[in-house]
Amino acid sequence: MSQRAMLAAMVGLLMLGTGCPHTYRKGGKLDRAMQKDTDERFEQREAELKSLELEDEEEDERICPHDKVEYRDCQTLPCKVTCQ
């Protein structure tokens, strides 16, 4: 192979192999897209955790006064709650 052909092949490989810098470099399109997806997943997870915390707080509310014990009869739905 002649030197010119080798040089042309090397230049072609260099041009095709480097890719688009605005897409692949740090802070490029791919980095921004991945960061956006990660942020969306984080926000969804935070919303799930907050809704679970709210459910737990609702369950923790006392029905009976502090001097009585709560008794739940859950053999039938909905559960019957009595204070003893």
Q: Cα(27)–Cα(71) distance, rounded to whole angstroms?
A: 59
Cis peptide before 65 (omega within 30 of 0): no
CA–CA separation, 26 and 29 (whole Å) = 9
With tokens 């809704």, the residue in question is 51
Distances (CA, A) of 31 to 1, 39, 48: 41, 12, 26
pTM, to two decimals: 0.45
What band does 81 get if pLDDT is binned at 50, 70 and 90? confident
pLDDT tens figures, 33-62: 999 999 999 999 999 988 887 766 555 566
Mean pLDDT rounded to a whole number for the chain: 80
The per-residue pLDDT for 56 is 63
